[in-house]
Amino acid sequence: MNTYILAIESSCDETSASIIKDGKEEIATVVLSQMDTHANYGGVVPEIASRMHIENITLVIEETLNKAGMTMNDITAIAITYGPGLIGSLLIGLMAAKTLAFTYNKPLIPVHHIAGHIYANNLVQRLEFPLIALVISGGHTDLIYMKEDYSFEKLGGTLDDAVGEAYDKVARVINVPYPGGPLVDKLAHQGEDTYNLPLPLDDDSYNFSFSGLKSAVINLVHNETQRGNEIIPENMATSFQNRVVEILTKKTMKALKEHNVKNLIVAGGVAANKGLRERLTNECEKNNINLIIPEIKYCTDNAAMIGAAGYYAYKLGRRADLNLNAKASDKLH
């Protein structure tokens, strides 16, 4: 019998629902982004995000069922992102999921947001183990070793800013509007690597550090401005992106080699980065590594990825009851 997971994701500024068949087939997904609203403020305003989730969550779930031509009777279980994320935003999706689980007597499956980002790749191709996952988003920069489904061994992570956060901050300094990441990526393809920026935390560990690189950009911009010189945003974007791509690629390839792993998956919003996709594709070809990077629509927050992760959590017997609470931060497990 097939398993249909109704998944709900509301951890940041996307209200999303999805129905996923057997962990790999997307039946219907609706993503309602609040990006245009938050752009007016230069970043996500948590209070506004929660209110918009309240307005939209029921509509998004109904629309998903309609698109799929299904009713709640066809649904096997409900998967919900319980964390990490903005607590007010998480709570809205969680309340909706609990209400549906209670009303229709369906199992409730708790899903960690990062497990969702990782399992987005399962919608492209069934994950092959062992694998290394490079998880890069607005809140995370992690290298994770997985020997089987739902086994997450963290090899290293950022000691300060997440890579997406560094992109967004650098964007602000070079006057690129929110959302900074995709626009800095675009500019990086139009400029040249002319600025002398450091390769951050170039050591033997699997850890990352992006706050020093971000500060180097800020200092350069200030110094040039004080001297009455204009910086060239395209060149700054290229220089910054080259360092980020270099260090992410270097440590990821080292993790693959040292763990003798032939499968790499990339996950999270920054996986949409064109420069990184090109570089990793090249390196993986050279080293016979099987690389999966999801389509851009599966890189940024969506409920389809929660449905894919939810299916494997369901198969492993993971269940939550109505006491499940939202968590702003939680270890991936």
Q: Where along the sequence are the contacts to ligand KG4 (CB under 6 A)?
A: 12, 137-139, 164-165, 167-168, 179-182, 185, 268-270, 272-273, 300-301
Task: Give the one entry of Zn ion, ligand KG4, none that residue 168 binds, where binding means its C-beta sits below a cut-off of 5 to 8 angstroms depending on kind.
Answer: ligand KG4
- Our finding on whether 235 is near Zn ion (CB under 5 A) is no
Output the smallest distance, CB 124 to ligand KG4, in A. Answer: 16
Pick the closest to residue 122 from 315, 322, 312 (CA basis): 312
Output the smallest distance, CB 229 to ligand KG4, in A. Answer: 27
- Our finding on whether 302 is near Zn ion (CB under 5 A) is no
Interacting residue with Zn ion among 94, 301, 302, 309 (CB under 5 A): 301
Output the smallest distance, CB 113 to Zn ion, in A. Answer: 6
183-198: b or e for each residue (b if 16 or more CB lie within 10 Å)?
Answer: bbbebbeebebebebe
Nearer to ligand KG4, 46 or 130 (CB): 46
Nearer to ligand KG4, 15 or 100 (CB): 15
x-or-dash pattern for Zn ion, window 125-144, by CB under 5 A? ------------x-------
Output the smallest distance, CB 240 to Zn ion, in A. Answer: 21
Nearer to Zn ion, 26 or 301 (CB): 301
> In this structure, are residues 293 and 271 in contact, taking their beta carbons and an 8 Å threshold?
yes
